[in-house]
Structure 1
Amino acid sequence: MNTRKNRAGSLVIGLAATGFAAIGLAAPAAAAEPPQQAVAHADLDGDGTPETVTLTMIGDGTQQLTADVGGRQIQATMPGDDFAGAQPIRVTDLNADGRAELVITKSVGANTLTFDAWDYDGEFRRLGTPDGQPLDLYEGGGVAARVGYTCEATPAGRALVTLGSEADDVGADPLTYTGARTAYTLQDGVLTPAATVPFTSVAPTDPLVSTDPAACA
């Protein structure tokens, strides 16, 4: 018997077994931590110089928006999604007046994002409707709905346009959607409804159920 050869073979088998055991016992990779901060640059006061804006998760479903404007720090707290973390700040100009508005993600659902919109008027101010209620924006909806926002040129200037629609029958082929698009004009932190366009049973490819948030930049 070739003892050296047998020992070598045993060593190879032993190392292989040890390697497989190590692989089997390896700890799974840790899940990535949600982002705790997002940073953007936005001209909040319309002076032509962008301010640095920071969004920070502070826990318990709350996040804080911070900026330095004219050497003075301003802050506002708002709802946030602890599980998703601080999402990118969307810098917009909803009425094309040269003063930026900020669209902030407050909830990340399975199919839909929910946002707040804020501007600067000496302090951060959440945009709302004439009745004093905040206006939430949405994006997504999945198969059962089409929701979103965009901006469009109108005779009165740029308008924020929201889309809300639901599938007539999620099991139908082809799918169709029924809902409405509403245009809002922004002035002094108030989003006033200017026009509503209802639609019925339109195809998923119809422009009426299409939105482009980048059009608000």
Structure 2
Amino acid sequence: MTPRTTPANTPASDIARRHLNSGGNTTVQKIVKTTVPLLASVATALALTAPADAASDPTVGRAKPIDTRVDLDGDHRPDKVVLEVVPDNPDEQQLVATVSGIRLTARIPLHSYPGIRPLRVVDIDADGRDEIIVTESVGANTLGFTAWGLFGGLRPVTSPDGTPLPLWEGGGASAIARYGCEPADGGQRLVTVQAGVIDWENFVYQGERVTYAVHDGVAVEATRTPAVGPRDAVPFLADPQTCA
């Protein structure tokens, strides 16, 4: 199936009709009526699951602290960052960053039987200061993350209401969960993709691609694009490496 380019403000119902006119065999009524509950169920499923190969990945679970070097303040000098399980609480992990001799700490939820996972170093807003992607949950088909950086302290990237912005990767056969970054306005935007299967025979998915402008650790929604198509449809593509 060849992906189609669709304006960001096109309703999901119009996208569904286009899919049907091109030979899809899912009814318009089913797609339209299930748009909102479908995305809600995808979000719920992502919160409860994680990638199927997690248990077989030798880098997945670590009991020992993870030590890395990143440039959190943009001064071109490496800052020491350590992630470790909180000794008296296996459901929490502690992120410790030492910047210009100052020790900063943050406690982060940990829902992962294998333990803590390696940190991912990114620069989400392309401002020359690194952020750190921390894995919070590991399950059967999906990984859940939050991004952390120096935003008046060691703090997570949040939505405007102050809630940490969740990032997902995986989804298994029934869902798509991805994140990445893309160039925009001379800088860079964060991208999230969530979709659920609506046609098992042809593996057609319905969901949304959302982009965010991130400034001082606050992610403000810039665009929201509904989409229907196969897993490799352009709106569903996102690569974490594009944030590095």
SS of the aligned residue for 2:194 comes to strand
CA distance in 1, matches of 2:95, 2:232: 37
Query: How big is the shift at 1:175?
Result: 0.4
Per the TM alignment, residue 156 of structure 1 is displaced from its structure 2 partner at its CA by 4.8
- Give the counterpart letter for 1:143 in structure 2: A
What is the one-letter code of the residue matched to 1:57?
A: V
Cross-structure match for 2:188:
158
Q: 1:132 to 1:122 in 2, by over 3 A?
A: closer
Pick one of 175, 199, 204 that aligns with 1:145: 175
Residue 148 of structure 2 corresponds to which residue in structure 1?
A: 118
Q: What SS class does the counterpart of residue 150 from structure 1 fall into?
A: strand
1:22 match: none
Residue 44 (structure 1) aligned with residue 44 (structure 2): no
Counterpart amino acid of residue 120 in structure 1? L
User: What SS does structure 2 have at the residue aligned with 1:168?
Assistant: strand
Question: How far did 1:67 drift?
Answer: 1.5
After TM superposition, give the deviation of residue 188 of structure 1 in Å. Answer: 1.3
CA RMSD of aligned residues (A): 1.6
| Residue of structure 1 aligned with 2:235, choices 205, 208, 213 | 208
Distance in 1, matches of 2:190 and 2:112, equals 28
What corresponds to 2:39 in structure 1? Answer: none
Check conservation: 1:53, 1:67, Cα contact below 8 A.
yes
Give runs of aligned pairs for residues 121-200 of structure 1, distance below 5 A: 121-169=151-199, 171-172=200-201, 174-200=202-228
SS of aligned partner of 1:116: strand
- Give the 3 Å change call, closer, same or farther, for CA 204–158 of structure 1 in structure 2: same
The residue type equivalent to 1:100 in the other structure is D
2:112, 2:138 within 8 Å by CA — same for their partners in 1?
no
Question: With structure 2 as the length reference, what TM-score do the two structures score?
Answer: 0.71
Runs ≥4 in structure 1, deviation > 3 angstroms? none
Structure 2 unaligned residues grouped into runs of 5+? 1-57
- 1:68 corresponds to: 98
Q: CA deviation at 1:139?
A: 0.2
- Aligned residue among 82, 87, 94 for 1:54: 82
CA shift digits 1:109-129 (9 cap, x unpaired): 100000011111352111111
- State the alpha-carbon separation in 1 of the partners of residues 92 and 178 from structure 2: 24
Q: Equivalents in 1 of 2:180, 2:91: separation in Å?
A: 27
CA positional deviation for 1:34: 3.7
Letter in 2 for 1:211: A
Residue-by-residue CA offset, 1:78-110 (whole Å, 9 max, x unaligned): 111351211010111001000111110000010
Structure 2 CA distance for aligned equivalents of residues 189 and 122 of structure 1:
9
Unaligned regions of 5+ residues in structure 1, if any?
Answer: 1-31
Q: Is the 8 Å Cα contact of residues 40 and 91 (structure 1) preserved in structure 2?
A: no
Q: CA deviation at 1:155?
A: 2.1
Match for residue 114 of structure 2?
A: 84
| Percent identity for Structure 1 against Structure 2 | 39
One-letter code aligned to 1:35: R
Aligned residues between the structures:
183
One-letter amino acid matched to 1:60: P
Scaled by the length of structure 1, the TM-score of the pair is 0.80
- Matched letter for residue 189 of structure 1: G
Instruction: Describe the SS at the equivalent of 1:139.
Output: strand
Q: Which residue of 2 aligns with 1:6?
A: none
3-state SS, counterpart of residue 85 of structure 1: coil
Higher relative contact order (CA 8 A, sep 6+): 2
